[in-house]
Amino acid sequence: MRIFITGGTGNIGQYVTKALLEAGHSLVLLTRTPSRIPAIAALEGVTAVEGNILDLETMDKALRGCDAVVHIALGWGNDPVEMLEHDTKVTLFLANAAEKAGVGKFVYTSSTAAMGNLRDGMDETALLVPSDLYGATKAASELYLLGFKQYYGGQGKYGKTVSLKRNIIRPGYTFSNPAYPGGASQSDTRFLDISKAVLQNEDLSLSENDGTQFLSAAQIAQLYVKLVESELNDEIFLALGRKFVSWADIARIAAEMTPSYTATISPPPDEIKRTPKYYNVDKMANIFGLCFNGDEDLREHIRWNLERAAALLAGKDVHNPYHVW
């Protein structure tokens, strides 16, 4: 397939780009700065198109002749109207343009934030109760996409039926090392802070209750490939690991990798250990056979942060992998 992809050089997108290419697809890759990661723009099977997701005309032209659209890029705003204009409007424009151009499939990147605060065992059927504008924007985009089943021929009259297959992925906490030289990462700053503390043999006080079901971008990319190659329609998939990992666990892994560490890692003195709440990720496993604990990739990410921390503490220049809106 020929696939138009937004956000294909970012935290998740770089691995989706890699996985789709390895699966034999060709890509039309929208990027604000093709020169930022030459290794991606130079890949065989990639056509780089310079522009951002507010360049609606550029995207309209670029997706023509494609078989699928994979929309990963995030639009941002500081108030409700900006969030609507920069993210939800863009998503709906892309879906509408894809339908009019005869594109067959559309995969949208939402977020667990669309559902709001975690309620134990929540799955794809959970009520959407977003707790901030980001979550509200994702929830709104989801609902518009799911409702985009037909046009109207007038007030109260249904018109042409939509043929575009629309599916949604809701990532949770997704981490990555750069997939290509000069590539991106949106590693939580706590990874680097913990790494610095461990390398400096500092005591750490970290909650055993603070953590999540981590999933790497390389792992979530497998879901994108499965979904874009499927004939599913109007489906939503949560994308997280099965295992709860706390930041205290991460510190212990970093300490294990650092033989010189002899300090202590302990919870706050007044902490009461709680049973973790979980997202239910059975659907991803039941339909596509994808089930991740994330251990190996998480250890590699911690190792990468330890190397970055060591270089920074030594006063060396370190590539800034953060891509922001």
Per-residue confidence (pLDDT) for residue 241, from 0 to 100: 95
Burial-class residue 57 by CB neighbours within 10 Å (0-12, 13-18, 19+): exposed
Average pLDDT over residues 12-35: 93
Q: Identity (one letter) of the amino acid at 35?
A: S
Is a pLDDT exceeding 60 seen at residue 107?
yes
pLDDT of residue 253: 98
Q: What separation in angstroms does the CA of 298 have from each of 182, 217, 245?
A: 20, 11, 10
Structural domains in the chain?
Answer: 2-172+217-239 (3.40.50.720), 178-212+244-313 (3.90.25)
Which stretch of DSSP H or E encloses residue 89? helix 89-100
pLDDT score for 324: 61
Mean per-residue pLDDT of the chain: 94
pLDDT tens digits, residue range 276-304? 999 999 999 999 999 998 688 999 999 99
**Minimum mean pLDDT range among 32-41, 123-132, 136-145:** 32-41
Query: What is the Cα–Cα distance from 238 to 280, expressed in whole angstroms?
Result: 8
Q: What is the pTM of this model?
A: 0.95
Whether residue 125 has pLDDT greater than 80: yes
What does the pLDDT look like over 195-218, one tens digit per residue? 999 999 999 999 999 999 999 999
Residue 323's pLDDT band (boundaries 50, 70, 90)?
Answer: low
The 8-class DSSP code of residue 4 comes to E
